[in-house]
Structure 1
Amino acid sequence: MAYNNNYCIILAGGVGRRLWPVSREKLPKQFVDFLGTNRTLLQQTFDRYRKIVPTDHIIISTHVTYKDIVLEQLPELNENQLILEPMRRNTAPSIYWACSLIQQKNANANIIVAPTDHVILKEDEFCKAINNGLEFIDRHPYLLTLGIKPNSPVTEYGYIQLTDEKEDRFIKVKTFVEKPQLEFAKIFVDSGEFYWNSGIFLWNVDTAMRAFAKYMPEICTKLSNGIEEFSTCPNISIDYAVMEKADNVYVQLCDFGWADLGTWELMYQHHDKDKHQNVTLSGETMLYDCENNIITAPKDNIIIAQGLKDYLIAVKDKVIMICKKDDNAAIRKFYNELQMKSGEKYI
C-alpha cells in the first residue's frame, strides 16, 4: 500500500446545537477548545491524521461561512483542500462530493472519513488501528468502520451488531442501531454482540463510489452536474444513506481511548472530576453541596452554586443556561424557542 494513496476527509460543517450555548452558529464546536489544550477540536483532529496521511491529502468539508475560520486555524492548508458546502445537507452529499474530487486526483485512493468531535487518549494505538484499516481496505472491496467495545449503555451512541463472519481480524457487520433507548442499550452491552459505532469510516475510493451509485443514486446524479446542485440534495447522513444498507461493511474492533464529545453529558463523562464529581471546563467555581455537575464560563467569570446535582451551568456571550446536563430534549427546546423569540441574536 502506497502512503501517497492515503487521504482523509475531516467533517467540520455542523453547528453542534447539542453543545449550545458554547457552540454557536458563528463559531460551532469544532472551532472551540473544549478540552483546554489550546487546540480546537478541528486542530486536534488535523494533528491526529497528519501523522497518517500527507498534509496535502487532508480535505476539510465545511459550510461556506466557515472558510476563513478553517484557514485561520489550519494555516498549513490551501484553499483547494476545502469542500465548501453552500447549504447543510448532512454528511452523505459532502462525503460523496469529497470522494469524487479525490477520485479525479487518484483512482487508487484509500480514504478515511473522520468527524471532529472525538477525543482519542491512546494516539499510538489509534494510528496503528487506522494504518491496519487502510491496509485492509486497500486489499478488499469493503466499507470499514471502527468499533469500540462499550463499557456502559450510552444512548447517544450508535451500535454495531457483529456476525460470525471474519476476515483476518476484521468482522462483518450484521446491522447498525442508531441511539437506542436505555433498556435496549443495556441489552446490547450485556450481549457482547454489539460495539459502539465510532463514526470513523475507511474505504477505497472505487469501493465507495460503487456503493454511492447503488445506494444513493439521487445524490450522485445531482452532484454529477457540479456543486451547484448541492443544495437540492436530500438531507441525509452517510450512515442512513449507505452504511446501514450495504452488504459489504466490516468492522475493526479497537481500543484507543475513544469518546464522542457531541453532548454535554458525554463531555462530562470524559473530563476529570473533583472529589464531588463536578467538572469545570473553564472559569472559576465556588460550589456548595453540589455534585455531578458540569460548568463552563468565560475565564474571568466565577460561578457560585449551591445544592445542584446532575446540572449543566453554561455561560457564553450573554447566555446563561442552567438545566439538567443529560436532558438533550430540553436543551433543544430552549434553543428552538429562543430562536423563535429572538432570532439569531443568541444562537
Structure 2
Amino acid sequence: MNKNYYAIIMAGGVGSRFWPVSTTDFPKQFHDMLGTGDTLIQKTFTRLSQIIPKENILILTNEVYNDIVLEQLPMVKQEQIILEPAMRNTAPCILYASLKIKKENPDAVMVVAPSDHWIEDEVQFCANLQHAFDFCEREDNLMTLGILPTFPNTGYGYIEYDKLDSRPIKKVKQFREKPDYATARKFIQSRNFLWNAGIFVWSVKSVLNAFQEFQPVMYDHFMQGYDVYNTTNETQFIKENYPLAENISVDYAILEKAHNVFVLPATFDWNDLGTWGSLHEKLDKDENNNAVVNARVLLENASNNIIRAEGKKLVVIDGLDDYIIVDKDDTLLIYPKSKEQDIKKIVGKIK
C-alpha cells in the first residue's frame, strides 16, 4: 500500500434523525444499523483499509466517544483518534487533522469520509478513490466524489459541474444548497448536477494552501500549535484553543471559494443513511415492502414499514402503512415515515 495515502473518518455526529436508536451518548455510527453484524464505523474503516494503510486512518470524533472508538476499532491506536473538545463543524477539525498529517508526512494525499454512509460496491469505491488520489497527487486541486442523483432529493446539497467538460473528472461550477422539490427536479433534468456526498480528496499541501488563502484567521489560529502537534503537549493546546475556532463547514470555508475544485461522478451505489426512510431503502423487505431489523414480527395489513426492536422482541402490527416502528430501551417510536425529518424536532422537545 502507498504510505502517502491517509484517511480522516468523520465520526463526531449525533444522527438525531435516527432517534431513539441514535442518541447523543451513542450515535448511529457506532450502531449496526443494517443488521449485518458490523457497525457503520467498522464498515467504513474496513472499506478504507483496502486502499489505505490502517495506521494512516485517523478517526475524528468528539472526546466523549473516544472509548467507544477504541472498543469498536481495536486495531486503532490512541494517537490515531483526533478528539474535538467542542463541536465546530467540519472546517476546523479538517484543518487541525491536516496539520497533524502534514507534520508526519508532508507528501500525504488524503480522503475525508463520513463514518456512517452505506456503500455497496466497495470494488468500485476503491477504484474511484484510487482515481481521485492519482489526480490529486499530480496537481494542486481539491476534489469531491459526487453521486449521480436518482430522484429529486431535497435533503442533499448538489454539485454543479461544467456541462461541456467531457473529462471523467469534471470542473465544479458551484455548490448548491439543499433545494426545494421544484429546483431539485430542474437539477435532475439538467444532467450536470450530482449529490454532494461529503467525500473529499486532496493532498495535504493543497488543502492547507486553500485554508491559508481563504481562512487565514483560522489557519493562523491552528498553526500556533504546530510545534506541539503529535506530542504530549498537543492535548492542552487543543483543549484551550479549539473551542475558539469559527463554527463553519469545509464547504463554506474553502470549497465554495476555491477555483481548483473538481468532482468525480462516482460509479458506486451510495446512501447517506440520514433517515429511517433511507435505511428502509437499503434493507431487505418482505412482499409488502416491510423491512425488519432485530425483531420477530406478525404483520397484518401492514406495508412499507421499517420495524426495529431489541432482543428479538415480538412486534404485532395491523393496519399500518409507511410507518417507522422502533423499540429501544424505555422508548417506543411509532411515527409516519413521511414526517421523518421532524424526528429531530421531537428529540429537542424531549430534552
Please give the range of the TM-score, normalised by the shorter of the 2 chains.
Answer: over 0.9
**1:289 to partner: Cα distance:** 1.2
1:14 matches 2:1 = no
1:292 matches 2:304 = yes
Choose the corresponding residue for 2:321, options 298, 301, 309: 309
Matched pairs, number: 338
Aligned partner of 1:342 in structure 2 is none
SS in 1 for 2:172: strand
TM-score between the two structures when normalised by the length of structure 1? 0.94
CA distance in 1, matches of 2:29, 2:168: 32
**1:164 to partner: Cα distance:** 3.9
SS in 1 for 2:162: strand
SS in 2 for 1:3: coil
**1:214 to partner: Cα distance:** 2.0
For the 8 Å contact 1:284–1:299, the answer to whether it is kept is no
1:107 matches 2:106 = yes
CA distance in 2, matches of 1:156, 1:168: 28
Choose the corresponding residue for 2:253, options 234, 238, 241: 241
Which amino acid in structure 1 is aligned with residue 168 of structure 2? R
Aligned partner of 1:142 in structure 2 is 141
For the 8 Å contact 2:308–2:326, the answer to whether it is kept is yes
Moved more, 225-234 or 60-69: 225-234
Q: Structure 1 residues 120, 67: closer, same or farther in 2, change over 3 A?
A: same
CA distance in 1, matches of 2:9, 2:176: 23
CA distance in 2, matches of 1:137, 1:101: 19
CA distance in 2, matches of 1:229, 1:250: 32
Choose the corresponding residue for 1:324, options 336, 343, 346: 336
CA distance in 1, matches of 2:166, 2:107: 22
Choose the corresponding residue for 2:241, options 229, 241, 259: 229
**1:128 to partner: Cα distance:** 0.7
Which amino acid in structure 1 is aligned with residue 129 of structure 2? I
For the 8 Å contact 2:275–2:341, the answer to whether it is kept is no
SS in 1 for 2:310: coil
CA distance in 2, matches of 1:264, 1:89: 26
Q: Percent identity?
A: 43
String of CA shifts for 1:201-247, please: whole Å, max 9, x gaps: 00011110011122223322332334121112222221222222221
CA distance in 2, matches of 1:219, 1:237: 12
Aligned residue runs from structure 1 range 1-347, under 5 A = 3-164=2-163, 166=165, 168-226=167-225, 227=238, 228-339=240-351
Which amino acid in structure 2 is aligned with residue 214 of structure 1? E
- What runs of 5+ residues in structure 1 fail to find an aligned partner? 340-347
SS in 2 for 1:172: strand
TM-score between the two structures when normalised by the length of structure 2? 0.93
Moved more, 179-188 or 215-224: 215-224
For the 8 Å contact 1:147–1:195, the answer to whether it is kept is yes
For the 8 Å contact 1:164–1:172, the answer to whether it is kept is no
String of CA shifts for 1:29-78, please: whole Å, max 9, x gaps: 11001111111000000000111111111100010011111011111111
**1:268 to partner: Cα distance:** 1.4
